[in-house]
Structure formats: structure tokens, C-alpha cells
Structure 1
Amino acid sequence: MQEIIALLTRAGIPLPADLNWLAAILGFAIVGIGMALGWVISRLSGKHLKGFWERVVGERAEGLANRMVKIIYHASVSIVLAIAFFSFDWWTYTDLIIGAGWGICAAYLVWHIIRASGFARWIAVAAGVFTFALILSNAVGGLERVTLVLDRIGVDVGDTRISLLTLLTIAVTGLVLFAIVRIVRRVISHSIQRSSALDPAQKLLADKIAMIVIIVVAFFVGIDILGIDLTALAFFGGAFGLAIGFGMQKTIGNLIAGIILLMDRSIKPGDVIAVGDSFGWVNKIGIRAVSIITRDGKEHLIPNEILMTEEVENWSYSSLEVRVNIPIGVSYDADLDLARKLMLETADESDRVLNSPKARCWIVEFGDSSVNFELRIWIKDPEGGVGNVRGDIYARIWNKFQENGIEIPFPQRDLHIKEWPKSGAEALPPDGVAIKTATPPPMDD
């Protein structure tokens, strides 16, 4: 600081008798310059970075993109003030003012990042206050004293010291890593979804693998930052892992089964499948189970292992086109050619029935009461339901048959009695049926 005083003296700038005023003015000037530079940088690059972030992250960019200009501003001011703080050995008041400005900007920076990452407001407030206190303590030279006090508040467990400083370090490290994991996963997930070289199942598999890798990397980075020695826990970790392995056999099995399903692409999100009594389209393939939404809006969670070991009917495995068979019976007295023509016309008039492959109508059998036809139609949206297509076809056929006088019969039987026996007698005609009648016994008074 003597160099600055000598420079001001040679320049003919009068100095106040109390240099504390000069230190304060210098501190406010440096903070003002930092804020001006931050404003310029945020205005020049903030909108461009916001657009870039929206392209990289897509729909998940909303939280961070809307705060991008403010984040760039506070980050720029914090960097400028940090450089100024460590560049010279300032007066105490100058350090205090620069440190306070730096701490406030850094606190707001942490606030915006944590809120954009989806954390609760109280967590963002606590993290901001902690950041401000940390930087301000360092500015006034009291950081070592604060850490010493926090380290004294604790207990010794064997050779390990568990103090308030340790817990605070773990909490801060976990919060920072969790925020980084969320942001990185958003970027990677959007990049995977934008890839045109992967189908939906491969995208989902890549997204889940990326999530697992990110979490594992973050875990070991946190262990390294905190300096935790895992060798001391090797024995207990092995026993604990063995216990968890036995207890989570089904969970691990479902996890592996889900990964295999995604790898061989036998079941993909959007497929229409039938498993046991569950019929619907696949909404999501999770770590433990597959979510199937039925036509009545119910969501069935089928464990992944069941889809691997039991028979699954996939209506859209290789193609979305599905054939629907509709049985129809007409009277023996009806014009069969006309009935067949009307049924094919009905199929052509239905909106969901495909023109190619064309609908077909065949006589399948001569039944007891009717000539049974089978109308075979094709649809390409089985997730829209099959019963409603049948209902629409049946309603149209009913109207056309009514207009053209074609009867849809119902089961009926004709009983021919060749001879009625006399009362109280038994008769067995040569080609008839024996009928026996009896007089009921008299009732007591």
C-alpha cells in the first residue's frame, strides 16, 4: 500500500489525514468497478449463454436458463473482486469492503444455482449465508479462527474426530456434488434424447447407464474430497454388502432384467403388450418395474423379472399394424354375397381401419343357428384400444343389415311332438319319446 500512497503523492492528489477514509473509498471504488464490469459481461454474454444452454439442455433448461443473466453477472463480479482482493495487500478497511462485496455476490450466485437445480428455498438461503460468512471471514483474516472453533465442537470416536467442521464440510460437499450431478445429468440426458442414431429403448438405456456412472463418479469424488479412508471399513463393508446382497436379490434381479430388456429392445416405451391379465402400452421402463397404462387409465407395475421369465404378447414388437378379427353371424335365409359385401363396405368406412392390408371377410363355419363370418381388419394404433374398433364396426354392420333386410339370428330350437300320450299312461311310439305322467298323491287335510 505504500506504493499506492507514493503514487498518489507524486500525482499531486491530496490525501486525507485519516487514511481509513482513503481505504474505504478505495474499497468502494473497487467494488463499483467490479459491478460495472460484471454488468457489461452479463449483458454481452448472458443472452448468448442462455440460448446455448437451452439448446444443450432443452426442456429441462427452464430453471437455469431464466437465471442465466443473473448467474453470469454475480459470477463475473465475484471473479473480479476475488482477483482484486488477492492482487495487493490492501488496508484492513479495503479488505473488509472488497470481501463484503465479494461475499454478497458469491452468496447470490450460490442462491441462483441452487434454486435452478431444484432445491428448496431454505437450502438456498442457508447455502448463501454460509458462502457470505465464509468469504467475509477470510477477508478479515478470521477464517482460521472460525475453523478452529468449529473443529473444537465435536467428539472423538477412536482415532476419528467428528466435529461440527467435519459435518459442515460433508454437508457442503454433498450439496455441491448433488447440484453438479443434477446439472450434468440434464445436459447428458438431453444430448441422448436428441441423438438420431438411437431408438427409444437405446436412449432410455443410455440415459440410465449415464445416470449410474455420474452418481458413482460423484460418490468417489466426494470420498476423495472428504479424505475418507475406506480400507478401515473393508471388513464391515464386505459383511454389510453380503447382507444387502441377500436382502436385495429381487431388486438386483429386476435391475439386471430391466437393463437386458432395454439392450435387446424386446420391449420399448410405447409398445402395446399383454402380460397375464394386464393389457396396455408401456409408459416407462424403470429400475424395478415396467409401468403399463391400461385403456381404463389404471397403471400396472410389472416387475422386470416377470417380463423376462413369463410369456409376453407384444402387439408392436416389429410393427404397429395389428389384425383384429370380428365374428359375425347371419341368417341362413340371408343373401350371403350381399352380407359379405356390406361387411367389407363397413370396414372401408371406419376411420381406424387400414386400406392396406385390405380387410377380408370369410365364411368360417355353418353354425347351428347362423352362417358364421369372420371380418378381418388391420389397425396401426393398438394403443388406442381394440374394443372401440369392434364396437364401431358392429354398430355400422347393424345399421346396414337393417337397411338391407339381413337378419342376425339368435339361437332357437324347434320341438316336434309326433304323438301326445294319454294321461296316466306310458307310451313309447316307434320313433317317439317315452313320456310318463303320474297323478300326484292326495294331500292330507
Structure 2
Amino acid sequence: MTETATPLDQTGAATQSAPAKPATSAQDAQEIALSLADRLERFFTQDLMRPWTAYQLVIALVLFLLAWALCRYVAPRLREWMRTRENWPKWRFRFLLLIEKRLQLIFFNALIWPTIWIMREITWPAPYNFHWPSRSYLLGIIANLALAWLIIAVLSRLIVNNFLRTVVRYAGWTWVTLSILNLTDEARTLLDSAAVDLGTLHLSLWILIQAVFTLGVLFAIARFLSQTTSTGLKRNQDISPSMQVLAIKFIQVLLYGAAVFIGLKAIGVDLTGLAVLSGAIGVGLGFGLQKVVSNLVSGVIILMDKSIKPGDVISLGETFGWIDTLGARYTSVVTRDGKEFLIPNEDLITGQVVNWSHTNEFVRLDIHFGTSYGDDPHKVRALAIEAAKGVDRVLTHKPPVCHIVGFGDSSVDYILRFWITDPTGGLTNIRGNVFLALWDAFQENGITIPFPQREVRMLDGSQLATKVLD
């Protein structure tokens, strides 16, 4: 009777032929767990006791300690040298910081790979009945793990989001380790066996991990494309600010929506059942989220009709300030005293909004004052116009005008009108400066500003009584 050789895996245990269907039951998962435990037991009780296995572990430990010593010696000097580089671009400093943080792992890789090459050149193969194919096989596994971990650590730094970077890094390390140890099929089977069946939907840990990884990668790509497109649109001076915001919001919704759709399709989720769910969500939005939907639609209308845009100075009720950002639900208005009002977009559509810089930058301001009846009104008007012209921010190519608007009880009433182009610089302060210029001009030219006066007269036969308080 002939015997056929059974293939050996990396731990020396005989591998079984791949099952026709992945195990999904608890019994199959238990068998896989027992098989893994048997392999670990064989490794620690048999393979680890062999001389060359122990030698390789000792060599790896010595190389690790040597890499640690080199890192302790080189890292402080590298850090001091980096501090002397003042005119370097930021990307160089970031790259050197990445190298400095992974210096021990870099040294370990630089030491172990030449060691493996030397051992393979000067040592002889292991005996036929020995589990390891060569006397440097265990060092090769350790070197592959170290190199894979280093590459993943470097590439994961390209991810901006800290949480996503951490998830990708540890997930990559785990998957690469299982791949190098040839345990991916067992791990996948175990994860797929921990499942819940909801009708026709098979939900397992393996599917959840696939979903998280796939959606994470797609969201990272969508975020990168969104930021790149947003930067390009903001640099385009031919596009108005409101259209820039509208285009950016539209691109963000399109990219993230496509990421969700592609991610769910990639992991095998049937999206045909979402049609009924989307209808129910639409009914819920119509009744429970009327204000939210109204604000969203109002935001789109504002961006499309360009009635207001970032940088405009507006007045809404008692709120006066300039628009900082246009959001999907609200608009941020910053006042002169630093307060930031978040005004719902619906109020900007239905309310009466004064846009001081809608069609052009010119803003006309009016101030009212009065002078005594004894002063020449022609002279008063000329002095008022000249005083306003001498104030900063008041336009001279659109000269101020002054008119008489009435004869009051104790004064001749005037209105002084002047133009400015920077309402974001404030309105109260420019009015105050013009009033101060009028005061100085009237004082120099003998123009009096009347004010109410009261006289108390004592009639004949009346007495003034005083009372002394204790």
C-alpha cells in the first residue's frame, strides 16, 4: 500500500484540504479553535524545544536589543540635528519625525534581513523530518512581520483622521500577521461563524469588519476628493462665493452618498429593500422634520438666488453683522462685538433682511442735528459738508449733502447724508466720528446747538418753604 505525503503548514501540522463550504456552525468553529490550540501546543512542546528554533529566537532577541540600543544612541542626536534645520519645509520635518518614531523598527529590519541572508548562505538545510524548511525559517517569519508592520506604520501616516488612521493601522497589522502565519482562512471562518440570520440577511463579524474597512476607505477617498475640489473652487475667482458654497455642498453630498452606496453594494447588502424604507423615511421627514427640511431647502434657495453670500453685511431685526459662513441648516452672522448668531435659513427667506452690500459696496448713512435760529443755515450746511468730508472712510467722489428738514420748537433741523464702502468696519463708529467733526466745526465758527432749558419763576405772594430733615 502506498502512502501519500501530507503537506505541512508553517507550524509543522498537517493541513487538511479546504472544505467545500465555509464553516458557519458553532461545531465547526469549535473544531477550528481546537485545531489552532493543537498547533500552538505542538509548537511550544516540540518545535520550540529543537536547538535551531531556540537559536533563532535568541538571535532575534539579540537583534532586537541591539536595535533598541542603536535607537537610544541615534534618536537624541537626530532630534538635536533636526532643531538646527530652520529653513526646511514642513514635509521634511514630518518625514523625519516619522522616521524618529519608528527608528527602532527600522534598525531591527536593517539588522535581521542581512542576518537571514548570511545564515542561508553559510548554514545547511534542515533534515527532511524536521518541521522547519530551513534553519532560518523562524527568523524569516519575524523579519516579514517586522517589515510589514513598518510599511503599514509609514503608509498609515498619510491618513489625516487620527481615529481612522489608528483603525487602519491595527487592522492592517492584524491581517498581515494572519497572512504571514497562514491563518487567514481559519480567522475568516471563525468570524463568519459568529453570525445572526435575520430572514434572508446573514450578518456576521466578518461582514461587519468588511463593511467597516470598505466604508472607511471609501470615506477617506471621498474626503480627500472633497477637500481637493473645495480648495480648487475657492481659488477660482470667477465663481461667486455663494456658488462656491453650493458647489462644495453638492460635491460633498454626491461623494459621501456614492461612498455609502458603493460600500454597501461591495459587501453584498441588497439595496432593493431600501426603497420601502426610504418611503417611510420620507413620510417621517414630512411630518416630524418639517423645520429641518425647510431650513435645508431654504439654504439651497439662498445659494442659488445669491441673495446673500459670505462677506455680506446684513441686518435682520436687531441683529447687525456680516455673514461668516452659509451652512446647510443655518447661516452664521458675526456682529461687531464678536457675537456669532446662528440664524435658521428659513428666517432669511421669510423675514425682511437688509443686505447692505447686495448689489454694490456703497452704503449711505444719515445723521440728524439742529442749530439755533440765529445761525445762518447756508453757513451751517457748508460747514457740515466740509466737516463730513474730512472724516476717514467718508467718500469724497460721492460728496456728502446736507438739507433742512424742518423748523423745530427750538432749532432748525438738518439731515446730513454721506457714503461709505466698508460697512464691515462698523456704522456706529463712523457716525460718531462725523458728529465729532460737526462739533469741532461748529465750535470754531460760533454755531450753537440748542438744548432744552427750564426756568422756575416765583409768583407774587408765593413762599418757598424748606424742611430740615433730622
Cα displacement (A) at 1:399: 2.1
- Structure 1 residues 266-301: Cα deviation after superposition (integer angstroms, max 9, x where no partner): 101111111122221111111111111122222222
Structure 1 stretches of 4+ moved >4 Å: 62-71, 90-95, 412-417, 420-423
Specify whether residues 259 and 67 from structure 1 end up closer, same or farther in structure 2 by C-alpha distance, changes over 3 A only: farther
- Give the whole-Å Cα distance in 1 for the aligned partners of 2:371 and 2:284: 67
Taking the TM superposition and a 5 Å limit, the aligned residue runs for 1:19-418 are 66=94, 96=141, 99-114=144-159, 117-120=160-163, 123-412=164-453
Farther off after superposition, 291-300 or 214-223: 291-300
3-state SS of the aligned residue for 1:216?
helix
C-alpha contact 1:67 1:112 (8 A) present in aligned 2: no
Specify whether residues 273 and 173 from structure 1 end up closer, same or farther in structure 2 by C-alpha distance, changes over 3 A only: same
Specify whether residues 275 and 348 from structure 1 end up closer, same or farther in structure 2 by C-alpha distance, changes over 3 A only: same
How many residues get paired? Answer: 350
Specify whether residues 332 and 415 from structure 1 end up closer, same or farther in structure 2 by C-alpha distance, changes over 3 A only: farther
C-alpha contact 1:346 1:396 (8 A) present in aligned 2: yes
Specify whether residues 410 and 337 from structure 1 end up closer, same or farther in structure 2 by C-alpha distance, changes over 3 A only: same
- Give the whole-Å Cα distance in 2 for the aligned partners of 1:66 and 1:191: 25
Cα displacement (A) at 1:237: 3.9
Cα displacement (A) at 1:246: 2.3
Cα displacement (A) at 1:211: 0.9
Cα displacement (A) at 1:373: 1.4
Cα displacement (A) at 1:412: 4.9
C-alpha contact 1:201 1:263 (8 A) present in aligned 2: yes
Specify whether residues 64 and 336 from structure 1 end up closer, same or farther in structure 2 by C-alpha distance, changes over 3 A only: farther
Q: Which amino acid aligns with 1:181?
A: A
Specify whether residues 288 and 347 from structure 1 end up closer, same or farther in structure 2 by C-alpha distance, changes over 3 A only: same
Cα displacement (A) at 1:124: 3.1
Cα displacement (A) at 1:133: 2.0
Specify whether residues 126 and 273 from structure 1 end up closer, same or farther in structure 2 by C-alpha distance, changes over 3 A only: closer
Specify whether residues 346 and 67 from structure 1 end up closer, same or farther in structure 2 by C-alpha distance, changes over 3 A only: farther
- Give the whole-Å Cα distance in 2 for the aligned partners of 1:204 and 1:164: 40
Q: Which amino acid aligns with 2:231?
A: H
Unaligned stretches of 5+ residues in structure 2: 1-51, 64-88, 107-112, 114-132, 463-470
- Structure 1 residues 63-116: Cα deviation after superposition (integer angstroms, max 9, x where no partner): 999459969xx9xx9xxx9xxxxxxxx9865873564245213421453023xx
- Structure 1 residues 407-432: Cα deviation after superposition (integer angstroms, max 9, x where no partner): 10013589999xx9999xxxxxxxxx
Give the TM-score taking structure 2 as reference length: 0.66
- Structure 1 residues 337-392: Cα deviation after superposition (integer angstroms, max 9, x where no partner): 33222212211211111112011112222221111111111011111111111111
- Give the whole-Å Cα distance in 2 for the aligned partners of 1:224 and 1:212: 18
- Give the whole-Å Cα distance in 2 for the aligned partners of 1:64 and 1:157: 52
C-alpha contact 1:293 1:300 (8 A) present in aligned 2: yes
Q: Which amino acid aligns with 1:146?
A: A
- Give the whole-Å Cα distance in 1 for the aligned partners of 2:323 and 2:416: 29
C-alpha contact 2:215 2:259 (8 A) present in aligned 1: no
Specify whether residues 238 and 203 from structure 1 end up closer, same or farther in structure 2 by C-alpha distance, changes over 3 A only: same
Give the TM-score taking structure 1 as reference length: 0.70
Q: Which amino acid aligns with 2:241?
A: P
C-alpha contact 2:334 2:340 (8 A) present in aligned 1: yes
Cα displacement (A) at 1:164: 2.1
3-state SS of the aligned residue for 1:231?
coil
Instruction: Give aligned-pair identity as a percent.
Output: 37
Specify whether residues 109 and 173 from structure 1 end up closer, same or farther in structure 2 by C-alpha distance, changes over 3 A only: farther
Q: Which amino acid aligns with 2:382?
A: K
Specify whether residues 215 and 245 from structure 1 end up closer, same or farther in structure 2 by C-alpha distance, changes over 3 A only: farther
Unaligned stretches of 5+ residues in structure 1: 1-17, 29-53, 55-61, 82-89, 424-445
- Give the whole-Å Cα distance in 1 for the aligned partners of 2:333 and 2:421: 19
Farther off after superposition, 251-260 or 325-334: 251-260
C-alpha contact 2:312 2:358 (8 A) present in aligned 1: yes
Taking only aligned residues, the RMSD between alpha carbons, in angstroms, comes to 3.7
Q: Which amino acid aligns with 1:301?
A: L
Farther off after superposition, 200-209 or 232-241: 232-241
3-state SS of the aligned residue for 2:394?
coil
- Structure 1 residues 19-59: Cα deviation after superposition (integer angstroms, max 9, x where no partner): xx99x99xx9xxxxxxxxxxxxxxxxxxxxxxxxx9xxxxx
- Structure 1 residues 152-180: Cα deviation after superposition (integer angstroms, max 9, x where no partner): 22333333332222222222223222222
- Give the whole-Å Cα distance in 1 for the aligned partners of 2:261 and 2:92: 26
3-state SS of the aligned residue for 1:403?
helix
